[in-house]
Structure 1
Amino acid sequence: MGKTVLLKHFEEVTKGELNWAACRLQLEPRHNRDDAIVGLLSSALESVRAEISRMQKLKQRAENIVESVRSLASVTIEDVTVSFGGTMDSQTVNLASEILETTRIALSAGKPGLIIMLDEAQVLVDEKDRDGQHPLSLLVAAVNRLQEQQVPVALVLCGLPTLKANLLKARTYSERMFRGEEVGRLSREETREAFLRPLEGTGKTASDELVRDVIEDVEGYPYFVQLWGAELWEEAESVEFETLSPELLEGLRGVIFKRLDHDFYDTRIDSLTPAEQDLLLLTAECDYPPLRTSDIHKVTSRKQGNVNVLMGRLAEQGVVYRTQKGLYEYTAPKFHEYLIRRKQRDDWK
């Protein structure tokens, strides 16, 4: 699975099996401001509190409250005074207070604590200016202050590789708070297993040649394994084949890429401004990987400053990310090949 699906699985486990209160959100570039991240989380935490309250009322009506579970909250913080003093600014205090209140309610309902899960967290970037916006540090500082005082709250941040660099640049001691896990591409053996396991017990098989072809096509991306498998299954069902073969795949490639373009790629471009779209489509003419700004300058008449601004905006929109100065990679797999197809399609029009 990819990172977003993995985060959903975390939510299912924490809420279902572990009984924690959970808050899962997907961040967007517009949340990269102090007031925006506080407002977003305050609203989400309010919803968590309301959900807990509803569940408690239902339990009370059913007279099914288990008092012994409540006793587990020996970490109960009703009687603990949490200090928000020191150098914390008002917005950090406000966010920490919201998290604390939600955790109090979770504990009173017999839950072990609160977990906050944020996807696309790479959009949170602290400004270098001391008086600027520091949404990432604000978030981390609020959670850190509570954790230091034994409040059972956890924070999971999920995002592109730039997230790690953003955390290291944050004004807080964030590197001490997190255990990093890289969710990369599947290995060839993992891809093979992900493709073949759903066939077990179905009466259908896949030839070794087909499996090799699929592994080469999907490049270790979980969503692609699912898509290739689904299309091959439906085709095999329609023609009543018991074995998935390279011949089936060859006839389906056009259908698969058309679906990918429409469902997966087009939305990443259609939401951009015309200037951003134009520059992005021009990168189809550049060598890749990686995408070099020096190559982009060769295919566009835009000034260097304008190219840098547009690439920065594309990074903010989550279309590309910077690996180092002057070097970028697309965030979506096989995106360069898609841009070539899209440019040909647009030029034909």
Structure 2
Amino acid sequence: MVVGAGLPHLPSVLSASKSYSERLFRYARIDRLDRAAADLALQVPAKDEDAAWTEEALAAMYEATAGYPYFVQAYGKVAWDVAPTSPVTADDVRVAAPEADRELAVGFFGSRYERATPGEREYLRAMADVEEPATDADPVPSVPTSAVAQHLGRKPQSLSPARDALLKKGLVFSAERGRIAFTVPHFGRYLRGQA
């Protein structure tokens, strides 16, 4: 048995590389946690420590993390650390959010951004500039590649090498032709916050 993981476009990449690859593998999509699963990820460890989270705190956590598992851990750790008593409240989450954002900016977003070349960074920033605000239904919205090109004042074909390199580095993915999205939520927000 072989178990592997990849970005949402993995089935199409495998199909392009080997005929009948869909017969060789079984795909299971693992995505962001829904609200109930994100709540459990916080409540179960807290219960083990005879602690709890208020309903408002859980709602604030889900809004901050978009259900992305690593973000649930990162924000949850900081909120847990800053909470003076149990239960953890929405105020504790609000106090913790800037520190969690700073930690993610350095260790999570920053390390991804540093892997990109100057041309790829230009593409990422343009994506962030044209990205629509995230919604509950679309926490990581995709953008048209033509909008990225228009924003940069370039022809879409001239940006193909940067886009392809970002795809290979796992910083972006293309779920459908002509559209591109960041692989993690809030990456666009992080880029818009950089000088």
Q: Same fold (TM over 0.5)?
A: yes
Q: How many residues get paired? A: 187
Q: Map of 1:25-40 to 2, 5 A cutoff?
A: none
Structure (1 or 2) with the larger CA radius of gyration: 1
Whether 1:310 aligns to 2:162 is yes
CA distance in 1, matches of 2:55, 2:18: 52
- TM-score, length-normalised on structure 2? 0.89
Query: 3-state SS of the aligned residue for 1:262?
Result: helix
Please state how far the C-alpha of 1:172 moved relative to its aligned partner: 3.9
Q: Does the 8 Å CA contact 1:293/1:327 hold for their aligned counterparts?
A: yes
Counterpart contact for 1:292–1:328, Cα < 8 Å: yes
Determine the C-alpha separation between the residues in 1 that align with 2:50 and 2:168.
47
Flag the structure with more relative contact order, 1 or 2, with Cα contacts below 8 A and sequence separation at least 6.
2
Answer yes or no: is 1:298 the counterpart of 2:150: yes
CA RMSD of aligned residues (A): 1.5
Contact in 1 for aligned 2:79/2:95 (Cα 8 Å): no
> 5+ residue gaps in structure 1?
1-153
1:2-21, aligned counterparts within 5 Å? none
Residues 82 and 95, structure 2, Cα contact 8 Å, conserved in 1:
no
Distance in 2 (alpha carbons) for counterparts of 1:229 and 1:268: 22
Structure 1 position 282, deviation (Å)? 2.1
Return the match for 2:56 from 201, 209, 212: 209
Aligned residue for 1:179, secondary structure, equals coil
Structure 1 position 340 matched with structure 2 position 192: yes
What per-residue deviation string (whole Å, max 9, x for no partner) do you get for residues 256-286 of structure 1? 1111111100111112111111221122210
- Sequence identity (%): 27
Aligned counterpart for 1:323 among listed residues 159, 165, 175: 175
Matched residue, 1:271: 115
Tell me, yes or no, if structure 1 residue 182 matches structure 2 residue 29: yes
Structure 2: which 5+ runs fail to align? 133-140
Amino acid at match of 1:270: E
* CA distance in structure 2 between the aligned counterparts of 1:206 and 1:320, rounded to whole angstroms: 34
Deviation at 1:192, TM superposition (A): 0.9
TM-score of the pair, normalised by structure 1: 0.51
2:10 to 141, 163, 166: 163
Letter in 1 for 2:33: L
Structure 1 residues 172 and 308, CA gap change in structure 2 (3 angstroms): closer
In terms of fraction of residues, the more strand-rich structure is: 1
1:206-258 residue CA offsets vs partner (Å, 9 max, x unmatched)? 1111111112221111111111111111112xxx3222111111122111111
